Structure 1
Amino acid sequence: MSKVLVTGSDGFIGSHLTEGLVKKGYQVKAFAYYNAFNTWGWLDTLPKEIMDHVEVFCGDIRDPNGVREAMKGCDAVLHLAALIAIPFSYHSPDSYVDTNIKGTLNVLQAARDLGTSRVLVTSTSEVYGTAHYVPIDENHPYQGQSPYSATKIGADRLAESFYRSFNLPVTIVRPFNTYGPRQSARAVIPTIITQLLSGKTAIKLGSLTPTRDFNYVKDTANGFIEIFKSDKTIGQEINIATQQEISIGQLAEELIRQINPSAKIICDEQRLRPEKSEVNRLLGCNEKVKSLTDWTPQYTFEQGLAETIEFLRHNLEKYKADIYNV
């Protein structure tokens, strides 16, 4: 089996992907963000039988030397390391350029120099902005509606340029909104659930009208693996989507019904995004990923929500439900 480097392995999707790759027999090298506490993010919570098969390399995706060192001896790199919170990008855009664009460039340059056989670069459905048409396929125009999405567009186009200019075997993987265990409270589903589980009866949210196409995290991780396994995906941009949508308001009402039917939703002004920045509709097309790979979603939305609620119920102390998590 290939030796695979996963950048961002200490994060939400990255930890699930690391776990999934080990279970399928791959040798995994996990690139985790260096810190003085020597903590490895969500990797610290994985079972010993998984971590016994993971080599951890601590570094900073913004540093080309550490990235190159981590990639030595790896046949492939699945690049997930990124800054992803949209509100934080409003006041700290430089950090998004350094992490998302320059970090991706570091991976691409090292892969080119080292002759890496596969490079998967993680995109986001946010690069599309508010849908011009649905379902959104890979030919949909791009629109940078936040500094975050603009940097991901830049990273995607850099990846494309390395494929076209240097024949680097790049694939751009574009998940729609992923949710599930280990997701941070800056995302809407854990925001709602943690407020409800902590006993709040006034659930603070921003706009309720936007719609999203939610992928359960294990389906997203499996999508990466199936895309990686197929040579037909080289040089392609590929959505991972369920091709179903739900509004934030409908989502909140369903979670309220399941957890605390007496709770009410109130609008918190600080959670509202600037009008032209809010992405009002995302509904992805998954025909391409299904045509090029064996991927299909394995979890219903109901199953995914149930597992997410159960995880958060047992890990509520890790979340700050009483504040707005930017």
Structure 2
Amino acid sequence: MTPRLSIVVVGFDMARELPRTVLSLTTPYQQGMAPEDIEIIVVDNNSAEPVRRDQFQPDADIKVMRVEDGGASPCRAINLGVQVARADMIGVVIDGARMASPGLVKASLEAARVAPEAFVATLGFHLGPKVQQVSVVEGYTREVEDQLLANIGWPHDGHRLFEICALGESYRHGVLAAPPETTFFIMSKAMYLDIGGYDERFVGLGGGLASFDFFERATRAAGDAFTMLVGEGTFHQLHYGATTQAGGIRRSVNEEGRSLGEIYAREYAEVVGRPYKSANPAPALYGRLTHPAARALFFPPVTA
């Protein structure tokens, strides 16, 4: 049986985080979906300890593949995962540390019915009291995060993740303005391939601004069928990633004192042929507020 949605999840050295992410994308955690509806393709981007199939639910439709020549960027791994996807609709989780809320898949598929060229995107949140590049210097650790998850009884009620999170920097305006990227999206596989997928010329740590480039191309192709979800999203687990460790993109990373953000911006200009500037497309909104704490996250107060 062909699944309704194939989800590509890229992981690199995420033995703690990746199993939670995959669990959050499968049934029965994902509400309103049957097990045969969802195919998960876990792409191990050359982790030091190879990802194994037995790390995940034995009865779920999960394929594990390993990419040994992807480099420091996930772009090649994503494209290879999409190539083997069996469903006509594909989803992508570029960062395998991102757990999903329980209605993410159902709401995404519903929103995508609007048009064949639909591109449905989500907001991204960080577990913990603040964005993790800040909270890690204020005492936030994996052990603190594990206790937060235990306190809300995860995975029993996944929408309680909204009680223990903060908006990621790219999503600080909520759904009232289009973000420059997304943490999870779905679209047709045909449309993904038509726009060229992720540009593998982005070879920088973590992919640099590859997600910004892909998001711009995808929203342009979708036009009025670009949709942001309300009430569902992804939640970043602490794993000291490229942009979520102390200092984030502002930290110096080379002998010249250049910040990670400056290096990303330079690579973007070289690949795309111009400096990055948000196209700021206007999204349609789809969904409902699923938890009282979600309102202030999706519709944050407007600040001057």
TM-score class, shorter: 0.3 to 0.5
Q: Which has the higher contact order (CA 8 A, sep 6+)?
A: 2
Which structure shows the bigger proportion of residues in helix conformation?
1
